[in-house]
Amino acid sequence: MRTLLFACAAIALVAGGFTWDKPWMWGLGLLVGLGAMLGDSDPVKLDGRDQGTETSMGVRRMRNRGL
């Protein structure tokens, strides 16, 4: 929700900068947008060990059997 709020604020700042011809508002909007993208902290597991039903070893066995 916080990312969406920051993205909307960035869009509003950039649009306001174009409307009123204020370059500093464009820059501020771009900085807020960059902060929204980099500040997003979604907990994504990258190691693949989520204790699911299909482990990497199980997937390897299925591929070797031709399933």
Distance between CA atoms of 31 and 46, rounded to whole angstroms? 28
Q: Which residue has the tokens 């066995």?
A: 61
Give me the residue spans of the domains in the chain.
1-40
- pLDDT of res. 3: 85
pLDDT string in tens for the chain (67-residue length): 788 899 999 999 999 999 999 999 999 999 999 998 888 776 666 665 555 566 677 777 777 876 5
Q: Which residue has the tokens 């204020």?
A: 22
Distance between CA atoms of 27 and 55, rounded to whole angstroms? 47
- The H-assigned helical ranges of 1-67 are 2-20, 23-38, 56-65
| Phi, psi (deg, nearest 5) at residue 47 | -85, -15
- pLDDT of res. 12: 96
Which residues neighbour 20 within 8 Å (Cβ) at sequence distance 6 or greater?
Answer: none
> What pTM did the predictor assign?
0.59
